[in-house]
Chains A and B, each alone.
Chain A
Amino acid sequence: MFIRTVAEDTSLDAFREEIRSFCETELPAEVRRKQSAGQHLEREEYDDWLKRLGAKGWLTGKWPAEHGGHGWSPEQHLIFSEELGRAGAPPIVPFGAVMAGPVIYTFGSEAQKQQHLPGIMKNDVWWCQGYSEPGAGSDLANLKTKAVRDGDDYIVNGQKIWTSQAHWADWIFCLVRTNSDGKKQQGISFLLIDMKTPGIEVRPIISIALGHHLNEVFFTDVRVPASNLIGEEGNGWTYAKFLLANERVGNVDIAKFEHYLDELRKLTANTHEGGRPLSEDPSFKRRIAELEVNLATVKALMADQLAATREHGGAPTMMGAAALKLRGTELQQSIMQANVDVLARYGLVYQTDALHAGWNGEAIGPEATAGLMYEHLYRRAATIYGGSSEIQKNIIAKGALGL
């Protein structure tokens, strides 16, 4: 039950202060403004900010010192994310720092470490994640993208889908099939592929939020040096699972949703019903209280995971990560839904033009409307991506309950 003690740790106050004051002075005003208005960032301005963090080594602060990180504890990483959120900065892009990097330094060769880790640390290289395929979503091991050995190369053919930021990425880490015999999981390998390689085509997917964030990536006879294989051929599933557990902990994005809960408080104060602010309405007060409870619970689950992480030598438990992903994403959706329920009083207007800087039309309703609506629609995917809620429940059923 209540075994582990997590002592209140004031030793990190100075650390927090350092991050906070850095954000205050270094976060470009335009990025802050866009984030607060919920507008889309251009790659260049995002890149500029990430490079500033990279110069401090903070994108990869969690990495062990031997691989160039600061060896941050999970608590420190959490504080870092919280402070970014508080400052109104965009979250760090996880594909290199959180996903590819740890796989490379844990399972990669010396040459791979030297080639890739510095670029990830400094954000000189943008990564994307080549996991899902049209026929391999929840059943990820069913993937069909083939890599056939040809001399010193692999020839890759196939298709990935739901690839976030593929249109911005320089490299993609990919799960590919190198063997079709035996158990599905056994013939999978983990390949790093330069997006500039001939034969790669990126096609945009427009989402229900009417934004472009996702892509399809097509591979036609793409020649990849065999030296880009991570670890051993056929062992990719092990690395993939290692990475997915990392992704799940990162997925909860607590700081961002504390911000959206603040937005909700602001919206209810500024939105009227029958001439009175909604913040005086007992049902909205109660609803906000309920969301606060849910948020506190998710934070408690998270703290518990952090403690467990220490005991398990750096990796979160699959079960704890699954529970956190499940409830964390439900929380995200209910906070956004509450915001939208307030915005509905203005007619549920969705002016997507307002998501782009420089729009000079007349916004209807609160300034944050379009950004909040976008986030609401986008987060409908939170219970789908990174292993759907149904899959998380399967993991808990099998792994924790032994069913």
Chain B
Amino acid sequence: MPGFDSDERKLLDESLQSFLTDTYDFEAFKRHMRTEDGPGFSTQAWSQYAEQGWLGVALPEYAGGIGGGMTELAIVLAAAGRHLALEPFIGTLVTGAMAIEKAGTAGQQAILADVAGGTKMLALCHAEPQAGYARDYVATIARKDGDAYVLDGEKSFTLHAHAADVLVVSARVGDASGPAQLFLVPRDASGATLNVAPALDGRQGATVTLNGIQVGSDARLGDNDDDRLDLISDIIDLGVLGSCAEAVGAMAAVTDICVDYLKTREQFGQPLSKFQVLQHRLVDMSVSTEEARASVHAALQSVDDKRPGAKTAIWHAKVQTCRSARFVGAQGVQLHGGMGMTDELVVGHYYKRLAQLEAMFGDAEWYLGQLSMA
């Protein structure tokens, strides 16, 4: 059971907001993102998050975490979204850590202490070039070779994979009809080739080519031979929910920024905020943000309470968040006019972050398609 009551959640949110407001303004964001030869985020900030205990909010107590649920983690992610934090929250804390927590052996779970401590980063490398958003398409093969596995395949661009110490890689054991399993692969393993590139929103990531990578049997996550596609899908759902929480934070920021801007920008002899058509636009942005927030909140409660409809609730939240993000992000730019089109103004960076989050693990159309077939 998540150990946070409302007051504790409020305190968590306030401490995050105040820390990020103080240390992570737009200038810091640009500096972290664009430092030459840097990873595209702040490793120092990551250490500070660890010191504050934020990396461990949803990690189990045996790993030095606080044992909170997705709701607590979502509070962290929403704050990250609100301040455009660039660090690898979702890959490390959600998809990466939760795969290990749910399926790993006790030995493998030891890494979670390093995650909580901020010294190890993770990335889930599941999607492949032929997969698109489909979750059940795995062509990467893990061939058994005595006591070891040999991995061959190609993984699509994954945010922050270039910075992860350990990649959680899906592969079918034996051949294309074998069970899909997850493997813990050191990023610098011999045979791993990363093509590092910037994403639309300015963060970095990499494609990963696995060419005869040898890993020991202890690299396979867990201790049974069962197919893990259902588990992988559950993990991705948590990633979806995390990305939605981040988007809600970003949307709330965009709405606030637009309200402030329209109050100060004057055209035709009065502030733009006096034009009813623009007032209604701001209202629609605010309501859209609120719809996303409410649907994400509903999904978080379903997950934390282990309700049977949790998966559907997450997918509903994802569709709503994608819709809201597309509208709010685009209006953020539109309402700023030409200024919104510049790299100098923060609102364009929110537009790009929201587009990135929208596309993470699938877009609204894809989820609607899945829901319509369910």
Chain A positions within 8 Å of B, measured between CB atoms, are 132, 135, 137-139, 142, 161-162, 205-208, 210, 214, 271-275, 278, 281, 283, 287, 340-341, 344-352, 362, 364-365, 373, 377, 380-381, 383-385, 388-390, 393
In the complex, B334 has a CB within 8 A of chain A:
yes
**With contacts A208-B351, A275-B130 known, is A384 near B338, CB below 8 A?**
yes
* Interface contacts beyond A274-B137, A380-B334, A388-B337: sample of 5 additional A-B pairs, CB < 8 Å, sorted by A: A207-B341, A347-B157, A349-B199, A349-B200, A384-B340
Inter-chain contact B197/A161, CB cutoff 8 Å: no
Inter-chain contact B195/A162, CB cutoff 8 Å: no
Inter-chain contact A273/B363, CB cutoff 8 Å: no
Contact residues in A for B38 (Cβ distance below 8 Å): none
**CB within 8 Å of A: which of B331-374?**
333-334, 337-338, 340-344, 348-349, 351-352, 355-356, 358-359, 363, 365, 368-369
Inter-chain contact B337/A138, CB cutoff 8 Å: yes
Inter-chain contact A278/B132, CB cutoff 8 Å: yes
Set B129, B342, B355: member contacting A206, Cβ < 8 A: B342
Contact residues in A for B180 (Cβ distance below 8 Å): none
Contact residues in B for A135 (Cβ distance below 8 Å): 266
Contact residues in B for A350 (Cβ distance below 8 Å): 197-200
Chain A nearest CB, measured from B103 CB (Å):
23
Inter-chain contact B131/A274, CB cutoff 8 Å: yes
Contact residues in B for A384 (Cβ distance below 8 Å): 333-334, 337-338, 340-341
Set A132, A377, A389: member contacting B338, Cβ < 8 A: A132
Inter-chain contact A362/B195, CB cutoff 8 Å: yes
Set B156, B338, B349, B351: member contacting A347, Cβ < 8 A: B156
Chain B nearest CB, measured from A211 CB (Å):
10
Inter-chain contact A208/B277, CB cutoff 8 Å: no
Contact residues in B for A377 (Cβ distance below 8 Å): 352
**With contacts A341-B365, A364-B197 known, is A162 near B338, CB below 8 A?**
yes
Cα(A341)–Cα(B355), bound, Å: 10
In the complex, B256 has a CB within 8 A of chain A:
no
Q: Which of A345, A351, A389 has the most CB of B within 10 A?
A: A345
Inter-chain contact B343/A208, CB cutoff 8 Å: yes
Cα(A281)–Cα(B348), bound, Å: 32
Inter-chain contact A348/B200, CB cutoff 8 Å: yes
Contact residues in B for A275 (Cβ distance below 8 Å): 130-131, 134, 137
Inter-chain contact A346/B137, CB cutoff 8 Å: no
Cα(A352)–Cα(B198), bound, Å: 8
Q: Which of B132, B201, B349 has the most CB of A within 10 A?
A: B132
Inter-chain contact A271/B132, CB cutoff 8 Å: yes
Contact residues in B for A352 (Cβ distance below 8 Å): 198
Q: Which of A135, A274, A385 has the most CB of B within 10 A?
A: A274
Cα(A384)–Cα(B359), bound, Å: 25
Query: Chain B interface secondary structure, helix, strand, loop or mixed?
Result: mixed
In the complex, B261 has a CB within 8 A of chain A:
no
**With contacts A273-B134, A341-B363, A346-B156 known, is A208 near B348, CB below 8 A?**
yes
Contact residues in B for A340 (Cβ distance below 8 Å): 355
Set B134, B157, B363: member contacting A346, Cβ < 8 A: B157
Inter-chain contact B132/A274, CB cutoff 8 Å: yes
Contact residues in A for B200 (Cβ distance below 8 Å): 348-350, 373
Cα(A340)–Cα(B266), bound, Å: 34
Inter-chain contact B129/A380, CB cutoff 8 Å: no
Q: Report the interface size for chain B: residues with CB under 8 A from the other chain.
A: 48
Cα(A347)–Cα(B365), bound, Å: 16
In the complex, B158 has a CB within 8 A of chain A:
yes
Q: Would you mind naming 24 contact pairs between A and B with Cβ atoms under 8 Å apart? A: A137-B338, A139-B268, A142-B268, A205-B344, A206-B342, A208-B341, A208-B342, A208-B352, A272-B129, A273-B133, A340-B355, A341-B363, A344-B359, A345-B156, A348-B200, A349-B198, A349-B205, A350-B197, A350-B198, A350-B200, A364-B157, A380-B341, A384-B337, A390-B277
Cα(A348)–Cα(B343), bound, Å: 18
Inter-chain contact A139/B344, CB cutoff 8 Å: no
Cα(A383)–Cα(B266), bound, Å: 19
Chain B nearest CB, measured from A89 CB (Å):
26
Cα(A278)–Cα(B134), bound, Å: 11
Minimal Cβ-Cβ distance residue in B for A378: B341
In the complex, B136 has a CB within 8 A of chain A:
yes
Cα(A278)–Cα(B369), bound, Å: 13
Contact residues in B for A161 (Cβ distance below 8 Å): 338
Cα(A384)–Cα(B368), bound, Å: 31
Inter-chain contact B342/A349, CB cutoff 8 Å: no
Contact residues in B for A349 (Cβ distance below 8 Å): 157, 197-200, 205
Contact residues in B for A347 (Cβ distance below 8 Å): 127, 156-159, 199, 205, 207
Contact residues in A for B333 (Cβ distance below 8 Å): 208, 380, 384
Set A274, A351, A365: member contacting B136, Cβ < 8 A: A274
Contact residues in A for B355 (Cβ distance below 8 Å): 340, 348
Complex A-B, nearest 5 residue pairs according to Cβ-Cβ distance, in ascending order:
A347-B157, A273-B132, A274-B134, A344-B359, A208-B348
Cα(A275)–Cα(B158), bound, Å: 19
In the complex, B267 has a CB within 8 A of chain A:
yes
Contact residues in B for A390 (Cβ distance below 8 Å): 277-278
In the complex, B330 has a CB within 8 A of chain A:
yes
**With contacts A207-B341, A364-B197, A373-B200 known, is A345 near B352, CB below 8 A?**
no
Q: Which of A283, A349, A350, A385 has the most CB of B within 10 A?
A: A349
Inter-chain contact A364/B369, CB cutoff 8 Å: no
Minimal Cβ-Cβ distance residue in A for B356: A348
Contact residues in A for B132 (Cβ distance below 8 Å): 271-274, 278, 345
Cα(A135)–Cα(B199), bound, Å: 34
Minimal Cβ-Cβ distance residue in A for B342: A205
Q: Which of B156, B197, B278 has the most CB of A within 10 A?
A: B197
Cα(A389)–Cα(B335), bound, Å: 11
Contact residues in A for B268 (Cβ distance below 8 Å): 138-139, 142
Inter-chain contact A138/B352, CB cutoff 8 Å: no
Chain B nearest CB, measured from A345 CB (Å):
4
Set A283, A351, A381: member contacting B369, Cβ < 8 A: A283
Chain B nearest CB, measured from A285 CB (Å):
12
Cα(A274)–Cα(B343), bound, Å: 36
Contact residues in A for B351 (Cβ distance below 8 Å): 208, 380
Cα(A384)–Cα(B339), bound, Å: 10
**CB within 8 Å of A: which of B175-216?**
195, 197-201, 205, 207
